[in-house]
Amino acid sequence: IPEIDLPGHMLAALAAYPELGCTGGPYEVADSWGVFDDVLCPGKEETFTFLESVLSEVIELFPSEYIHIGGDECPKVRWEECPDCQTRIKELNL
């Protein structure tokens, strides 16, 4: 079962695509294991476009019935401070 851990554990993706984070970066690839505050920004549509592209490619490469998308270890500190995230939270009544 392939695993693409998101929305946390995405520093490498954020380093390549800083526009997908809440702060816009700059971001650096982690050089140690851990849980980091910088995660994907669900308040931006381009984040979902990116995820759809990544997951479509994973599905094509690994024709499994299942894909593990993680979902754990995602600090919310950036989301709490991000105007894009707060707008989406209010729109969806989350």
**3-state DSSP call for residue 7?**
coil
Residue with tokens 């754990």: 72
* Catalytic pick among 3, 19, 57, 73: 73
- Joined together, the tokens standing for residue 23 give 């702060």
Annotation marks residue 73 as catalytic = yes
**3-state DSSP call for residue 22?**
coil
Which residues are tagged catalytic?
73
